[in-house]
Amino acid sequence: MLESPVIVWLRDDLRLADHPALHEAVASGAPVLCLYVRDEESAGVRALGGAARWWLHHALAALDDSLRAAGGRLDILRGPAASLVPALAEAAGARGVFWTRRYGAAEIAVDSAIKATLVAQGREAKSFNGQLLAEPFALKTKSGGPYRVFTPFWRALSATPIPAPLPAPARLRRAAWPANAPARLDLADLRLLPERPDWAGGLRAAWRPGEAGARAALQAFLSDRATTYPADRDRPALPATSRLSPHLRFGEISPRAVWHAARHAAATGEVDAAAIDKFLSELGWRDFSWHLLFHNPDLATRNVDARFDAFPWRDDPAGLAAWRRGQTGYPIVDAGMRELWTTGYMHNRVRMIAASFLIKHLLVDWRQGENWFQDTLCDADPASNPASWQWVAGSGADAAPYFRIFNPILQGEKFDAAGDYVRRWVPELTRTPAAFIHKPWTAPRAMLDKAGVRLGVNYPAPIVDHAAARARALSAWRMISSGESP
């Protein structure tokens, strides 16, 4: 008779190192079956966008390679996890199923149902924190409620002991796939990659998905860029940020591993401690976003600030299409949208500028922008993406005031003064002098002719006037602030 295995059910935790569920399974001494279920059927679980599906394919391939090197293998199923996981456990005679906890309402419902079924079968069902520095129910205000403001949340998180990351298992015993279980799939069967057309060339050039790629990105950041991070992080033309967000999104590296590596770099004097604090506060924003999602399950669809339910959003298909294509006539916005389309990523400062433009210059509902980012970002995080859009809109917790309206010209001049970022992603403006590259419509005609820029022909004139758009946005804000009817 085959020895009873432990199933490790993998989701957004596609790594071997600092994986509590995998660590516990290996420590049990039982054979281990590492399972990934492509579940697109469970109610309420949000579908992955195209860029995230591309990343997932390569993350799963890298994980399978790592598991095989350690003696294991990644087994794949497709369908509703609520039926497949217990069915596999029954077929395998598994002693238990271990997994990393999730914090979205739909995901919690799925996991709770599976746990109940497994317990009824007489099996262990154990979950672990492998996704966050501190879980949403672990940090509470003095009154016992959830945090709604980042600064006190960050103080509480900073004072919380962060456990040291666990090592990756050197070896594991692979459990055999039971004969009467659902048929295993090959990774290619999931059809995660784009085919006709194959639009992922820019993603392939920009990224190295997988746990090894995550470790390399962290090491490169700490060795080369961390000390200058506070000064350079808002300059999109510079390689100043960690670029860890997609790796964290798919759990190829744990936040605890990032935290301790960064703290070690500061403690040994390799990196300035103040720079590390600034970097880690961004990791804190990631935890805060999950804190918000846990306590506001409809964060991606409903305003946290109910006043915005009365906001007079505009139906502007042409404006939305121009924004998506990077054809707004505002170079810093267009550069960001084209970077996104090409690489599945956008620099964070430019994300704020582009989001502000859609919401406040065009008065397009933030949910339409959030949906576009969900489809086109490799790092489209179920918590950070909607939390960030609501922050820009002014409708979220601890949000930027709605009346803070980014001027895309001044933002470009401040953070991309030489225009290098714009020239990279908006080649139509390559020969435009720096003094005019963020406002080419103000340049003398002779200068535009020399630069080869023909406004309205090979680069658009602005689709909206900044001053008029700002006045319109402020008028809308005053209306909902005063409680007037639309």
pLDDT of residue 454: 97
Residues 136 and 122 in one domain: no
The domain that holds 28 is classified in CATH as: 3.40.50.620
Domain boundary (261, 295, 329) is at 295
Residues 316 and 449 in one domain: yes
Decide if 184 is inside a domain: no
Residues 375 and 279 in one domain: no
Decide if 202 is inside a domain: no
Residues 381 and 311 in one domain: yes
- Calpha distance 308→401 (Å, rounded): 12
The torsion defined by the Cα of 478, 480, 482 and 486, in degrees rounded to 10, comes to 100
pLDDT of residue 143: 95
Confidence band of 484 (pLDDT split at 50, 70, 90): low
pLDDT of residue 402: 82
- Calpha distance 54→467 (Å, rounded): 40
CB 71 within 8 A of CB 172: yes
CB atoms under 10 Å from CB of 30, counted, come to 19
- Calpha distance 406→409 (Å, rounded): 9
8-state DSSP, 139: -
What is the CA 291 to chain-centroid distance, rounded?
15
Residues 147 and 277 in one domain: yes
| Total domains present in the chain | 3
* pLDDT (tens digit per residue) in 465-475: 999 999 999 99
The domain that holds 326 is classified in CATH as: 1.10.579.10
CB 138 within 8 A of CB 328: no
CB 45 within 8 A of CB 106: yes
Residues 45 and 87 in one domain: yes
pLDDT of residue 482: 78
154, two tokens: 């960050």
Q: What is the mean pLDDT of residues 129-133?
A: 98
Decide if 330 is inside a domain: yes
Decide if 448 is inside a domain: yes
Residues 47 and 110 in one domain: yes
pLDDT of residue 292: 97
Domain boundary (270, 295, 320) is at 295
Confidence band of 399 (pLDDT split at 50, 70, 90): confident
Residues 370 and 473 in one domain: yes
User: Which structural domain, as residue segments, surrounds residue 223?
Assistant: 132-164+211-295
Domain boundary (295, 329, 344) is at 295
* pLDDT (tens digit per residue) in 349-385: 999 999 999 999 999 999 999 999 999 999 999 999 9
- Calpha distance 274→258 (Å, rounded): 16
Catalytic residues: 282, 285, 313, 348, 366, 389
Beta bridge partners of 36: 10, 76
